[in-house]
Amino acid sequence: MHQIAMDTPFRNGARWIWDGNAAAPTFSPSIRIAVDHCCTGQEGKDCWCTFETRIGWKPPVACGVCHYFIRSGRIEFSGDSSHTLAGQTVDLPHIPADKLD
């Protein structure tokens, strides 16, 4: 699960706006999460792609990009996402209150 900043910006100043609709929320602007060599400035450095070769076991995560919009309670995954949901729109999943932290 990804987290975004609304009240206090992230270190890079990024911050999002929520429309106040808890049942079918919209956040803006889009959210783009990049991991390791997919991050600006990390190209060519050791990353999760080379973890197994370097360390000897499978990495806990994978390098990639997840870029999406949340509009009216649906996640619209952008085509530049590097996973199987790229280009698709899905409903926001229900998350039980005890899992929110």
Residue 12: inside a domain = no
Residue 91: inside a domain = yes
Bridge partners of 28, per DSSP, are 17
Structure tokens at 24: 């079918």
Residue 94: inside a domain = yes
Mean pLDDT of 4-31: 86
Residue 4: inside a domain = no
- Residue 66, Cβ density class (10 Å: 0-12 exposed, 13-18 middle, ≥19 buried): buried
pLDDT digits (tens, 9 = 90+) for 60-97: 777 788 899 999 999 999 999 988 999 999 999 888 88
Cβ neighbour number for residue 9 with a 10 Å cutoff: 11
Residue 65: inside a domain = yes
Mean pLDDT of 28-54: 71
Residue 2: inside a domain = no
Query: Which domain covers residue 22, as residue numbers?
Result: 17-99
Total domains, the chain: 1
Residue 55: inside a domain = yes
Residue 82: inside a domain = yes
Residue 52: predicted pLDDT? 72
pTM: 0.70
